[in-house]
Structure 1
Amino acid sequence: MHTFLYQASIYLAAAVIAVPIASRLGLGSVLGYLAAGILIGPVLGLVGAETQDLQHFAEFGVVMMLFLIGLELEPRALWAMRHKLIGLGGLQVGASTVALMGAAMLAGLNWQVGLAIGLALSLSSTAIVLQTLSEKGLMQTGGGRATFAVLLTQDIAVIPILALLPLLAISAPVTIATDGSLHREAVDAAGHHEAHLSLVEGLPGWGVTLVTLGSIAAIILAGIYLTRPVFRFIHAANLREMYTALALLIVVGISFLMTLVGLSPALGAFLAGVVLANSEFRHEMESDLNPFKGLLLGLFFITVGAGINYQLFLKSPADLIGLALLVIVIKGLVLYCVGRAFGLNHRNHWLFTLSLAQAGEFGFVLLAFSRQLNLIPIALSEKLLLVIALSMLITPLLFILYDILSKQFSDAKAEIKADKIDEVGPVIIAGIGRFGQIVNRLVRASGFKTIVLDHDMEAIQLMRRFGVKGFLGDPTRPELLKAAGIDTARVLVVALDDPKGSVTLTAYARRINPDLHIIVRARDRNHVYELYRAGADDIVREMFDTSLRAGRYVLENVGLSEYEAAQAEQTFFAHDRQTIRELAQLWVPGTPSSRNPAYVARSKELEKDLEAALMALSEKKEAQDIG
């Protein structure tokens, strides 16, 4: 028992220390787990041969991950994305596999091993890429969406790849029992021989096909007709842990059934996930299985790191780094051609190319599976593990390269010629995002003409498709504002996403037209103070009005009447406007408000005034009720 506790403490401590550090450095959790494994394995020697047994157990985390991926992919959503999945993603996986397979065969490997290597290295790191895209706010760009489509295709492609690898593998060893009968044995990742349970062993080919198809049909039918009654039955017990037990039973049971018919457990788990994607219990299963998936996957990557041949890297670091760069170059060339074929350009094209050029975490899974099948030799497998890990470590440098290239494209984009403005109106709206669109719709629907300015070509084109004319150009440029009639306009609405740009525009407009009424969208209080000093008349803070409305709903549901809640809301609104005006006089640009003693003291006084005002409102209502 003490040995188990010691090992568990080592693995957990390594993960708790290494993963947060890697995340803060922008390297991602996967690289953190790998680094933790390398630290406790090859470097410090705190763990040893037990990592092979743990890795065999932790591979179940991959099965859970594919089940959860299936839960996220509703059949309708998959069908709607079929062109990108089959075209963009399918071409990337296929072309990368062929190119990497060719490189492996040129190195003297046979085509079976070369194909297995090509398949393993063709997949990119979903964990690293998606996390980085989210952190940099690139998910909604054209390149981000194309990258996500390819990653989704790769996740789905793991299923047929796992089914294909056994066909490439060397047959399992056959032994003769003492009674003279033949028995086929299965070899696990640790090299142990264990009896292989099977529903199809000894059956003719047509029997194997029928049993396999019947098992798949049983999974689909059970997912459609059986899970809902079972979940309702569990719900009646009112025991939270039973939901977790049932979710685990579904994944474990399906995986076991797939092994009985000779298929990959991941295939059955993914299929079951897709079938259950429309179930009302989908989110329940996700929340129950996510912790197990995360821990098991983390454990899997730690064992991979602990099993890496560190001495091998020290013997030939230049060769391994060169191979990692070769993989990145080959995949990068394929991605560049695929992106060009599908019309990606400039910034989106480079984001697509550089973000997916590395090998990924599924490569560890496929290599471990290939090694278990005796398809790839142990020495070559260890070398490839290092190549994958190195390519993932290089990924942050690829995103830095993208940032450098992106700045060049943004500079080129700033030189786009602005539209010639041939109209003027009483209302100018600078910025036609979600905020500006609502303002524009209300003003136009009320019968007033607006002049819309925005530097985003896609936003202007979108508005034009809906019959609303807009002009392309930078609203902060004086010549564009003069052409739009800033000298004679009555109202200017500044709805820019850029806080500095909105302050600059407000100050310039106030200087040019002192009689202009300026309405500005503000991000926070500090932004309000800057706009107030720049000359804005009405300042609308993001989330302020919606937050007030939500607060009114809260008051209505804790005992106040609709009238009382509305009165409290109006009192808060009026007090806040007065507070902003007073604190703006005490605000010092460039100094945090918390470090401004006068600001903090007056803020506390005004907060007490608010509490007193709301209390007086409540007492007045009570007096009216008594009277």
Structure 2
Amino acid sequence: MENFLYQASIYLAAAVIAVPLSARLGLGSVLGYLAAGIIIGPVLGLVGAETENLQHVAEFGVVMMLFLIGLELEPRALWDMRDKLLGLGGMQVGVSTLALMVAAMLAGHPWSVSLAVGLTLSLSSTAIVLQTLSEKGLIQTNGGRATFSVLLTQDIAVIPILAFLPLLAMQTGAHIESDGSIDRGTGHGADAAHHSLSLVEGLPGWAVTLVTIGAVAFVILAGIYLTRPLFRFIHATRLREMYTALALMIVVGISFLMTLVGLSPALGAFLAGVVLASSEFRHELESDLEPFKGLLLGLFFITVGAGINFGFFFQEPLDLIGLALLVIVAKGAILYVIGRAFKLNRRDHWLFTLGLAQAGEFGFVLLAFSVQQNVIPTDLSQKLLLIIALTMLITPLLFILYDILSRNMKDSAPEQVADEIDEKGPVIIAGIGRFGQIVNRLVRATGFKTIVLDHDIDTIQLMRRFGVKGFLGDPTRPELLKAAGVDKAQVLVAAMDQRDEVTKLVAYARRIRPDLHIIARAADRNHVYELYQAGASDIVRETFDSSLRAGRYVLENIGLSEYEAAAAEKTFYHHDRDTVRELAELWIPGTPTAENKAYIERAQELEKDLETALLELAEEHAKKSA
């Protein structure tokens, strides 16, 4: 017990110190976890042999992650991904395996060993890549979805690879016993495989297939028909922890079942997640499992770092680093070509290329299995383990390189020719997203004509289906504004999504039309100050009015009358409007608010004025009621 508490303290302390520091430096949490493992393992020697056992437990974090990803994908969405799964994923695994196999053969290894090496190194790190994509909010981009498709294909590919590797053992001189077992010189023969539970061991091929299909069918049917009654039963107990227990039971049980039939637990968990994606309990499952997933994934990365054999590494560091870089460059080149073939745009193309260039955690599993099956020699396995770990350590740096490239590039999109504007109106609305649509509907419904401008052709076409004529073009371009009649318009509404474009449009319109009334959409309070300085007449914060209305509802339901709540809302509105105008004069662009002493002091004074005004309003209502 004491040893367990000591080890737990070491792992938790390393994570708490290294991960926030890494995140603050912009390196991401994954690199922080890996660094923590290296420090407490090879550097300080605070942890030892238990890391291998912990890694088997921590790998369950990958299983949970795939289950949660499956919850986000309905079966129809997965079917829509079939081209990417077969095309992107299939090409990546096949071509990478072939290229790495050739490289291993050139290094002097037999073709069977080289093929096993190629299969092992062709897989990328599901844990690191998906965790990083989620942190950076990239998983819903085209590049993120393409990357996820390849990772999912790789996870599926692990199953046939595990089935195929024992066949390669026959090429390495292993002796086949008369009963069909393979004797690898260990003295155990076929009995070595009888220590693990299995539903398919010893069955003929057709029976294995039937049992496997039956297990998959059971997972699907149980997800459809058994989860609802189970959740209702748990709900009747009114014990919150039972929800968590049920969520864990679902993932653990499915993973165990998949293991019994020789399938990947991660694949089974993903399948269960897809089945439950349309369930009303999806969000409950997500909230219950998310903390476990995060902790187990973090523990997995720490054990990877702690398990690196630096003694072996320092014997030939340049050779190992060079081989790790060779794997990344080779896979990156293949991914780059595949991305071009599937016409990914520049930003998504580089995310796809750099995000999948490493080897992955399933490589550890395949290496252990290959050594057990006498496919890959032990000394080569030790070197490959270090190469895989090094590529995983380099991966966060590849994402940093992607961030640098992404900031300095613009996606190549087909040039859209701006429409010829043949109408004029008193109101010009620049940007017809959710914000601009409501403004446009209200103004048009009142009987006034609007000129709608937007640079997104899909949005313009959608509006035209509803009978609203809009014009395609960039609202910040002077010639387009002139064609829209900005010289004679009464009101300009800057309602674009991009805050910099809104500010640019306001500044230009104010410069050419000092008398024009400009209403601008602001993203936040700092943007309000920018727009005031740019010359906006009225500024509407995206969430201010809706938040104010929500606050009024709160007041109505804690004792105030509708009249009193409306009066308090009105007082707050006018005070905030005056406050923003006054603070805009004290706001200094580029200076953090916390360092602007005059701004902070005046904001505190104005907040006290608001409290006084609301108290006086409450006293006035009390006197009238008396």
SS of residue matched to 1:185: helix
The answer (yes or no) to whether the contact 1:59–1:297 under 8 Å persists in 2 is yes
Partner of 1:488: 488
Partner of 1:472: 473
SS of residue matched to 1:184: helix
Partner of 2:51: 51
Aligned-residue offset at 1:589: 4.8
- Relative to structure 1, the CA distance from residue 119 to residue 278 in structure 2 (aligned partners, 3 Å threshold; closer, same or farther) is farther
Q: Which runs of 5+ in 2 are unaligned?
A: 171-175
SS of residue matched to 1:410: coil
2:537 counterpart letter in structure 1? D
Aligned-residue offset at 1:490: 1.2
The answer (yes or no) to whether the contact 1:463–1:470 under 8 Å persists in 2 is no
Query: For 1:30-50, what per-residue CA distance to the aligned partner results, in whole angstroms no more than 9, with x for missing partners?
Result: 333332232233223333333
Deviates more, 1:155-164 or 1:240-249: 155-164
Partner of 1:285: 285
Partner of 2:85: 85
Query: What are the residue-to-residue correspondences of 1:37-116 with 2, within 5 Å?
Result: 37-116=37-116
Distance in 1 separating the partners of 2:415 and 2:608: 52
- Relative to structure 1, the CA distance from residue 396 to residue 375 in structure 2 (aligned partners, 3 Å threshold; closer, same or farther) is same
Aligned-residue offset at 1:573: 1.3
Distance in 2 separating the partners of 1:271 and 1:133: 21
2:469 counterpart letter in structure 1? V
Partner of 1:334: 334
Query: What are the residue-to-residue correspondences of 1:506-521 with 2, within 5 Å?
Result: 506-521=506-521
SS of residue matched to 1:428: strand
- Relative to structure 1, the CA distance from residue 605 to residue 400 in structure 2 (aligned partners, 3 Å threshold; closer, same or farther) is closer
Aligned-residue offset at 1:520: 0.9
The answer (yes or no) to whether the contact 1:30–1:127 under 8 Å persists in 2 is no
Aligned-residue offset at 1:521: 1.3
Normalising to structure 2: TM-score of the pair? 0.84
Aligned-residue offset at 1:354: 3.0
Deviates more, 1:205-214 or 1:561-570: 205-214
The answer (yes or no) to whether the contact 2:156–2:267 under 8 Å persists in 1 is no
- Relative to structure 1, the CA distance from residue 46 to residue 197 in structure 2 (aligned partners, 3 Å threshold; closer, same or farther) is same
- Relative to structure 1, the CA distance from residue 412 to residue 183 in structure 2 (aligned partners, 3 Å threshold; closer, same or farther) is closer
- Relative to structure 1, the CA distance from residue 95 to residue 417 in structure 2 (aligned partners, 3 Å threshold; closer, same or farther) is same
Aligned-residue offset at 1:360: 3.3
Partner of 2:314: 314
Query: What are the residue-to-residue correspondences of 1:500-511 with 2, within 5 Å?
Result: 500-511=500-511
Aligned-residue offset at 1:78: 1.2
Partner of 1:191: none
Query: What are the residue-to-residue correspondences of 1:105-254 with 2, within 5 Å?
Result: 105-130=105-130, 132-133=132-133, 138-139=138-139, 141-158=141-158, 161=161, 165=165, 184-186=191-193, 195-254=195-254
- Relative to structure 1, the CA distance from residue 428 to residue 366 in structure 2 (aligned partners, 3 Å threshold; closer, same or farther) is farther
Aligned-residue offset at 1:470: 1.9
Aligned-residue offset at 1:549: 1.7
Q: Which runs of 5+ in 1 are unaligned?
A: 187-193
Distance in 1 separating the partners of 2:46 and 2:327: 32
1:519 counterpart letter in structure 2? I
Normalising to structure 1: TM-score of the pair? 0.84
Aligned-residue offset at 1:454: 4.4
- Relative to structure 1, the CA distance from residue 596 to residue 404 in structure 2 (aligned partners, 3 Å threshold; closer, same or farther) is closer
SS of residue matched to 1:280: coil
Distance in 2 separating the partners of 1:115 and 1:137: 36
Distance in 1 separating the partners of 2:403 and 2:260: 50
Deviates more, 1:49-58 or 1:161-170: 161-170
Partner of 1:360: 360
- Relative to structure 1, the CA distance from residue 362 to residue 65 in structure 2 (aligned partners, 3 Å threshold; closer, same or farther) is farther
- Relative to structure 1, the CA distance from residue 111 to residue 15 in structure 2 (aligned partners, 3 Å threshold; closer, same or farther) is farther
Query: For 1:478-505, what per-residue CA distance to the aligned partner results, in whole angstroms no more than 9, with x for missing partners?
Result: 4443343322221111224444543443
1:284 counterpart letter in structure 2? E
Query: For 1:23-71, what per-residue CA distance to the aligned partner results, in whole angstroms no more than 9, with x for missing partners?
Result: 3333333333332232233223333333333333433444434443443
- Relative to structure 1, the CA distance from residue 71 to residue 443 in structure 2 (aligned partners, 3 Å threshold; closer, same or farther) is same
The answer (yes or no) to whether the contact 1:184–1:196 under 8 Å persists in 2 is no
Distance in 1 separating the partners of 2:293 and 2:459: 40
Distance in 2 separating the partners of 1:356 and 1:596: 44
Partner of 2:525: 525
Partner of 1:440: 440
The answer (yes or no) to whether the contact 1:174–1:185 under 8 Å persists in 2 is no
Aligned-residue offset at 1:208: 4.3
SS of residue matched to 1:120: helix
The answer (yes or no) to whether the contact 1:121–1:388 under 8 Å persists in 2 is yes
Corresponding residue pairs, total? 615
Aligned-residue offset at 1:547: 0.9
Distance in 2 separating the partners of 1:623 and 1:552: 21
2:195 counterpart letter in structure 1? A
Distance in 2 separating the partners of 1:147 and 1:442: 43
Deviates more, 1:194-203 or 1:78-87: 194-203
- Relative to structure 1, the CA distance from residue 607 to residue 336 in structure 2 (aligned partners, 3 Å threshold; closer, same or farther) is same
SS of residue matched to 1:609: helix
- Relative to structure 1, the CA distance from residue 379 to residue 590 in structure 2 (aligned partners, 3 Å threshold; closer, same or farther) is same
Aligned-residue offset at 1:539: 0.9
The answer (yes or no) to whether the contact 2:219–2:272 under 8 Å persists in 1 is yes
- Relative to structure 1, the CA distance from residue 124 to residue 265 in structure 2 (aligned partners, 3 Å threshold; closer, same or farther) is closer
Aligned-residue offset at 1:540: 0.6
Partner of 2:299: 299
- Relative to structure 1, the CA distance from residue 464 to residue 406 in structure 2 (aligned partners, 3 Å threshold; closer, same or farther) is farther
Distance in 2 separating the partners of 1:342 and 1:331: 16
Distance in 1 separating the partners of 2:274 and 2:197: 27
1:472 counterpart letter in structure 2? G
SS of residue matched to 1:244: helix
Aligned-residue offset at 1:159: 5.1
